[in-house]
Structure 1
C-alpha cells in the first residue's frame, strides 16, 4: 500500500494569472505557469534561462503582483515578486499586465537598464533580435531622465570568435552560467562591483573552449556577438533555415542564416522565448564551435526547411514558408537576352564588390576587406 501511494503523481496546483486559470505541477514558478498561458500574460525575462541552473532573479523585469497567496492563506503579498523565482501555490492569484503597479515597475526597470546602454542599434549586430529592444518598446517610456555621462569600459579581446561590447551589457550573468555549466573551463566572469562591475577575463585570456560560442546565443543584448557575422548583414535581410549534420561533439541541429545561397551565420535552435531548444531525442541544443564558426557552406548541412518565425518579429517581415526560389522571367521577356546594368557601381565602389564572398570572410566585414588597393599591395608583397 505504501509503494502504491509513492507512485501516485502529486496533485496539480491551480493558479490564476490575469483572470486566466491553469493547472501546473508542484514546483512550477509563476513565470513558467504564465508561459503555459502565453500571450501578453507572460512576463518578460532578461536574465532567466530555463536550461541554466541558478539563472533568474537579477534583472527584475519579470515582476508580478500576487493578489492572493493561496487557498489556505489568501493574504496578498505586500511587495511585487520576481515571477522567475517564486513558486506557485494552489489557489494563487497573480496580476501581470492587469496591474498598474506592475506596469509602472517594469517601466522603471527598463529605464534603469537603459541608463548606460548606448543607442547604437543602427550598428549593432543584435538589432532585430535584441530582447532589450523588444522590452523597451513594449514596457519602456518615451524618454529618459538620465542626464549624466554614461559609463564606458576598456575593450577586452576574447579571441577570434567572440566580440565583447561591455557598454551594452546589462549583467544578466547568462554567459557566466553558460561557461560554467556547458564548457569544461570558465575563463571569464564578473569583475569589480557596483557601477564598475563588468564581464571580462583576468589578464586578457581568450575564450577558446569548444562550446564557448553558446554565450553568443544566450546574450539578450549585443554585448557578445559573433565576429564571423560582424557587419556582414542585417538579421531581417537573412532567411533562417533549420539544418543538421552528423557531429561527434554536439547535437548538430542548428539554424542557418542565409542571404541567397550564402550561409552568413550559424546559431543553435531557439524556442519562442529565445531559449535553446532540446532535440527530439532529448539531447541538449547547445552546439560546438566547429558547427557554429567553421561550417559556413550549404554543402556541409542537410537543409530541413524554413525556420518558423513569430509574426511580431522583424525577422518575419520577408519570411517564406517554402524553399522554392522564384523563377527569373526577365530573360524570357527579353527573348533570352540577359539584362544589362545602366550604371555599374562595382567599378567605383569598394564596398559593393561582387568578387568578395561574405560567407568566406573569417572575421568581420570591415573596410580593410574591401580595400582593393590594400589587397593588391598585399598580394604583390606575398609574391
Structure 2
C-alpha cells in the first residue's frame, strides 16, 4: 500500500479510537506511531485488512502510553480489556474529524495544521516543510490545537462552511517542501465529498480541479508568473477540466447555490474559452454578481471590476473600481491594468510600480515590476 492510500485510512481509524474512549491528542499520537510501524512492517508482511491492523496497533500503542502514565490511572477502567482483533467497524467518523479539526476555537493556521495531521495523515516534519517553518514550531502549533479540541465531543454538530474554508486554505498554499498541498487538498476534499452529500463540497472540489488544471501553464521556465490571458492553453489538463465541469453541473442542478459553486462557474467559463479573446466576460460578470450577493465581499467586487472592464470596456471597469476602497489588496494592480487598457500608459506604469511594493510575495512583486518596466520602455520608444 502506498503512502497516499495509507494516509487515506487515517480519519476512520482515528475516529474509532476516539469513540472507544481515547482523548483526541492521545489517539492521534498513537495513530502516528501505528503509521510508522505500518511503513516498516507492511512491505514484508502486508495485512489482509489494513484498517483493522491500524486500529489494533494504534489501540495497543494508546494502552501502552496510558498505562505508563501514572497521572492517567483513573482512566484504567477504559482500557482494562482490549477489544479483540477483527474486521474494522463500518462506522465512518471522517466527517466528525473534519468538523473537529475545523473547530471555531482554533486559529485558521492551527486548523489547517491539525487537518493535515489528523485527517491527512501527514507527519509534523512534512507539514513544517510545506509551510517553511521549523519542525519544532509546527509541533508546538499542532500540540496546542490538539489540546484545544481534546474535550470536544463527537456528537456536537459541525459547520461545513468552516471545514470548506480550511480545505481551501490548504489548497491555496500550493506547493512547497516535499508535500504538494494543492494535491493534498484535492484528495481531502474528494474524501469529504464521498462522506457527505453537499453541493458546496462538490462546488469546492470542482473549483480546485479547475484551478489545478491550469497549474502547469501558470509559470514560465524562469519561474515568473504567466497571467491567465497569456497562458499556453494546450498545457491545461483537459481531463481535470472535464471532471470539474461535470461535478459543477451536478452541484448546480441541486439548485442550492453557494459561493464555491459560483467561483467554480467562473473558473469553468475561463476553462471553456479556446482563447483569451473568446472568454464569455458577460457571463462572468453575471456570476460575479451572484457571488457578490452571496458573500458581500469587497475582494469579489474587485475581481468583478476586472470582469466589467473586459466585458464593457476599461472605463466601465474603472468606474466599478472607483466605488471600492483603495486599500484593498490588489486594488492598485487592478487599477494599473485597467489604466493600461484605457491607453493611459504613464499612470499605469506608476501604478504597477506602486502595486509591486505592496505585493504579498516575491513572484507577484517581480511580475508587477516587469509590467511597469515594460510600459516605461514602450513610452520611451
By the TM > 0.5 criterion, same fold?
Answer: no
Higher RCO structure, 1 or 2 (CA under 8 Å, sep 6+) = 1
Structure with bigger helix share is: 2
Structure with bigger strand share is: 1
Superposition TM-score, scaled by structure 2 size: 0.31
